[in-house]
């Protein structure tokens, strides 16, 4: 670093000497000085970026990041599971009809069609809904075991299970949407925690920037548990 700075300083002084020998105008001398300052600033920035590029989290913080990355994957998987069920329960904008309607008799019909290997579009959509409900149940189970769970995700998972239990098609759809939105928000917030932690330690971003879109509140590393 010092050798590189000395080299730049030497070249700068030689440039100034040459300009003075040529009786260069004051503006040219000032331009050379300005260019030199810019070179120094660029070199400093490059060195800082290089330092950040090579820096890593401490072992303890890396464990926390690994846990958060698993959460991000979980939230993304939840949204992927919920999407087909949301689509099946959403009325067609033109016809107003849904692919899937819930009810004790209809639900049993869907189940039998799948069991007998005579599935239909509706019965397969019902199976997708079952996967979404299973996801919600698993979240309840994990929370009961003390697994870290976002409060809104847990709350809307509970609401989905309750709505589905009443065979209310519209209520189930709305519960699915709220559950999905909570999972998306939790994903974004967890990404913010990851990036805030890295920024506080001078480590390069994991995602390459601030994943702030869709979040209700910016998360600061100082707000986290040590």
pLDDT tens digits for range 106-148: 999 999 999 999 999 999 999 999 999 999 999 999 999 988 8
Selection from 49, 50, 41, 40 nearest residue 11 by Cα: 40
> Which contacts of 91-96 are long-range, i.e. CB under 8 A and separated by 24 or more positions?
none
Residue 8 contacts residue 39 (beta carbons within 8 Å): yes
Whether 214 has a pLDDT exceeding 70, the answer reads no
Read off the pLDDT of residues 148-205 as tens digits, 9 standing for 90 and up.
889 999 999 999 999 999 999 999 999 999 999 999 999 999 999 999 999 998 888 9
At 216 the pLDDT is 41
Average pLDDT, the chain: 86
Q: At what angle do helices 121-144 and 104-115 cross, to 10 degrees?
A: 100
222 pLDDT more than 50: no
Is the pLDDT at 61 greater than 90? The verdict is yes
Of the candidates 100, 106, 103, 65, the residue with the CA atom closest to the CA atom of residue 84: 100
State residue 226's pLDDT score. 32
Specify the pTM.
0.70
DSSP 8-state assignment for residue 27:
H
The predicted-structure confidence for 19-53, as pLDDT tens digits, reads as follows 787 787 778 878 888 888 888 888 777 767 776 66
Q: What is the pLDDT of residues 2-15, one digit of tens each?
A: 666 677 777 778 87
Q: What is the DSSP letter of 168?
A: -
CA-angle at 120, arms to 117 and 122, nearest 5°: 130
Taking a C-beta distance cutoff of 8 angstroms, is the pair 176, 89 a contact?
A: yes
Q: Which residues contact 220 (CB under 8 A, 6 or more apart)?
A: 196
CB atoms < 10 A from the CB of 189, how many? Answer: 24
pLDDT tens-digit profile of 73-94? 999 999 999 999 999 999 999 9
Rounded Cα gap, residues 75 and 155, in angstroms = 14
What integer pLDDT is reported at residue 209 of this predicted model? 55
């Amino acid at each position: 670093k010092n050798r590189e700075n000395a080299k730049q300083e030497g070249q700068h002084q030689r440039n100034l000497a040459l300009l003075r020998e040529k009786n260069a105008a004051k503006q040219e001398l000032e331009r050379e000085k300005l260019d030199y300052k810019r070179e120094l600033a660029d070199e400093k920035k490059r060195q800082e970026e290089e330092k950040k590029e090579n820096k890593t989290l401490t072992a303890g913080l890396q464990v926390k990041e690994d846990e958060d990355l698993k959460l991000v994957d979980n939230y993304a998987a939840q949204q992927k599971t919920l999407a087909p069920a949301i689509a099946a329960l959403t009325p067609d904008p033109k016809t107003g009809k849904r692919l899937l309607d819930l009810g004790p008799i209809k639900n049993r019909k869907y189940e039998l069609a799948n069991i007998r290997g005579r599935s239909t579009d509706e019965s397969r959509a019902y199976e997708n809904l079952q996967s979404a409900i299973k996801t919600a149940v698993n979240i309840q189970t994990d929370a009961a075991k003390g697994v870290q769970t976002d409060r809104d995700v847990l709350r809307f998972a509970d609401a989905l299970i309750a709505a589905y239990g009443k065979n209310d098609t519209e209520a189930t759809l709305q519960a699915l949407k709220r559950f999905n939105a909570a999972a998306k928000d939790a994903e974004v917030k967890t990404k913010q925690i990851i990036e805030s932690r890295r920024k506080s330690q001078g480590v390069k971003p994991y995602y390459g920037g601030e994943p702030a879109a869709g979040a209700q509140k910016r998360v600061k590393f100082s707000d986290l548990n040590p």
